[in-house]
Amino acid sequence: MNSQVFSLKIIIMGFSGVGKSSVALNYTHNIILTEFNQAHGDEFKKTIQINDHTILLEIYDTSEDEFVALRNQYIKQGDGFVLIYSITSKESFEVLQQIYEDIYQVRKKEYNEHIPIIIVCNKNDLEDDRQVTKEEGINYADSINCPFIECNTKTREDINRIFEVLTIDVLEHKEFITEENEARKKQKGCCAV
């Protein structure tokens, strides 16, 4: 068992009302959000175990009303991003695509460079009010090479999987500065340039 705890910043973004706070609260505190206990702009923490690593997830719940500077700060600091839209809102699906582009712009990355992002379609319990087909969601996620999950925070279907899939993606792409890695680098005789 590796005793080192890695800390990762996960940023939740999406159009207003899609369920960002619900997902964050649901995942970290097993709480189902109602109209009576609205939340926003909070930071949540949860520790998970992936392989032999203990990972502390610092989850930032953003809001559409945030100042651009603050939003960009979140984007710059995020290790991974949960981009949420709602099956009941076509607009939220379109806004999500803009957010994806904003992330690449703020990070000054080319689209073929990897940023750990998961596309989440929330509120799939509201099938009768569906405005975005599952195929549209899957096709969009495929087109940008991101995993896709449809879920809802009422039955809490697949909420854990969002963070597991994203964390594994982050771990696969993040260069951790650990004693283990440093020792390996020295062995190989490589140095930073």
Ligand X SMILES: Nc1nc2c(ncn2[C@@H]2O[C@H](COP(=O)(O)OP(=O)(O)OP(=O)(O)O)[C@@H](O)[C@H]2O)c(=O)[nH]1
Residue 86 interacts with Mg ion (CB under 5 A): yes or no = no
Residue 26 interacts with Mg ion (CB under 5 A): yes or no = no
Are the C-beta atoms of 32 and 153 separated by less than 8 Å? yes
φ, ψ at 44 (rounded to 5°): -120, 150
| Terminal alpha carbon distance of the chain | 33
Strand ranges in the chain using DSSP code E only, listed in sequence order: 5-14, 43-50, 53-61, 80-86, 117-122, 148-150
**Of positions 93, 132, 153, 162, contacts ligand X by CB under 6 A:** 153
List the single partner that 128 binds among Mg ion, ligand X, none, CB under 5 to 8 Å by kind. none
Q: How far is the CB of 94 from ligand X (least distance, A)?
A: 16
Residue 40 interacts with Mg ion (CB under 5 A): yes or no = yes
In the complex, residue closest to Mg ion by CB: 21
Helix (H) or strand (E) holding 56: strand 53-61
Residue 54 interacts with ligand X (CB under 6 A): yes or no = no
d(CA 44, CA 47): 10
Q: At a CB cut-off of 8 Å and minimum separation 6, what does 166 contact?
A: 10, 80, 81, 82, 116, 117, 118, 147
Nearer to ligand X, 17 or 147 (CB): 17
Residue 89 interacts with ligand X (CB under 6 A): yes or no = no
**Of positions 16, 49, 105, 181, contacts ligand X by CB under 6 A:** 16
Nearer to Mg ion, 21 or 92 (CB): 21
Residue 149 interacts with ligand X (CB under 6 A): yes or no = no
Question: Footprint of Mg ion on this chain (CB under 5 A)?
Answer: 20-21, 40
